[in-house]
């Protein structure tokens, strides 16, 4: 159960990084070796992991600051899945050393979403949540991954369906790199990646408990409206 104790006045939203991959102006990594391939072509960033047991990542830097509110939004299409249990999705909050990272991924069969704060190569896991109670996704169509950081909480969406929320202390914020995550025997492509900064002001409101203590009960409820951020 999550009690929303703060409401926010969204003052402005600023795009920090946006790419539709018509070119490589943002300087995403391109590589072609036996264990992995990544190339921008025909309006897509195409990534393939042909290794046996190593996950791959492809990063870019967003001009975010600590404690800042933001949205990470991306469309990812699963092209090939030799391993239905393999995961693909997003990474965020890491630096050049890539020692600690956060990931938000979906299994290739579309049945499991995983949110995790982990040490490089998964030597240690500091926070892990797996959601198996997901709506049915059409894995032949692009999957929309969205992460909203607002106030002290992270909200995670797949195709605009909220799959998890967690307090900010569950995740690392060592750096401002964001990017893609792909496990072995998978091939993905993306034609959209965006990071937005949210300028928001917390409103002074009373919680339901405070209303109860004051002898007042209001039936109004507040729910995060992802449409405000994911246009």
Q: How many Å apart are CA 131 and CA 115, to the nearest integer?
A: 9
Q: How many Å apart are CA 24 and CA 30, to the nearest integer?
A: 9
Helix (H) or strand (E) holding 210: helix 208-213
- pLDDT at residue 225 greater than cutoff 80: no
DSSP 137: P
Q: How many Å apart are CA 32 and CA 14, to the nearest integer?
A: 34
pTM: 0.86
Q: How many Å apart are CA 90 and CA 74, to the nearest integer?
A: 8
Residues 78-134: pLDDT tens digits? Answer: 999 998 899 999 999 998 777 799 999 999 999 999 999 999 877 789 999 999 999
Strands 186-203 and 7-19: antiparallel
Question: Between 216 and 28, where is the model more confident?
Answer: 28
Question: How crowded is residue 152: how many other Cβ atoms within 10 Å of its Cβ?
Answer: 13
Q: Could you tell me the fold of the domain covering 7-228?
A: Jelly Rolls (2.60.120)
SS3 159: coil
Calculate what percentage of the chain has a pLDDT beyond 70. Answer: 85
Question: How crowded is residue 124: how many other Cβ atoms within 10 Å of its Cβ?
Answer: 10
Residues 10-59: pLDDT tens digits? Answer: 889 999 999 999 999 999 999 999 999 999 999 999 999 999 899 999 99
Locate the domains of the chain by residue range. Answer: 7-228
Out of 50-59, 145-154, 170-179, 187-196, least confident range: 170-179
DSSP 64: -
SS3 228: helix
Residue pair 76/189 in contact by the 8 Å Cβ criterion: yes
């Amino acid at each position: 159960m999550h009690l929303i104790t703060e409401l926010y006045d969204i003052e402005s939203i600023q795009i920090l990084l946006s790419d539709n991959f018509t070119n490589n102006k943002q300087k995403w990594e391109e590589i072609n070796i036996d264990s992995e391939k990544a190339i921008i072509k025909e309006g897509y960033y195409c990534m393939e992991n042909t290794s046996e047991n190593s996950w791959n990542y492809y990063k870019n830097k967003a001009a975010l600051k600590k404690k800042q509110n933001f949205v990470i939004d991306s469309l990812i299409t699963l092209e090939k899945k030799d391993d239905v249990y393999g995961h693909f999705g997003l990474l965020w909050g890491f630096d050049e050393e890539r020692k600690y990272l956060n990931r938000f991924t979906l299994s290739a069969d579309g049945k499991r979403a995983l949110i995790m704060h982990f040490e490089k190569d998964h030597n240690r896991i500091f926070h892990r949540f797996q959601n198996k109670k997901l709506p049915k996704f059409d894995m032949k169509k692009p999957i929309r991954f969205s992460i909203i950081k607002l106030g002290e909480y992270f909200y995670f969406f797949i195709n605009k369906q909220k799959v998890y929320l967690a307090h900010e202390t569950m995740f690392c914020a060592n750096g401002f790199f964001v990017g893609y995550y792909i496990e072995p025997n998978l091939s993905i492509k993306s034609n959209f990646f965006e990071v937005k900064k949210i300028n928001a002001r917390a409103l002074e409101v009373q919680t339901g408990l405070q209303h109860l203590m004051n002898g007042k009960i209001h039936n109004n409820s507040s729910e995060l409206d992802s449409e405000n951020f994911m246009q």
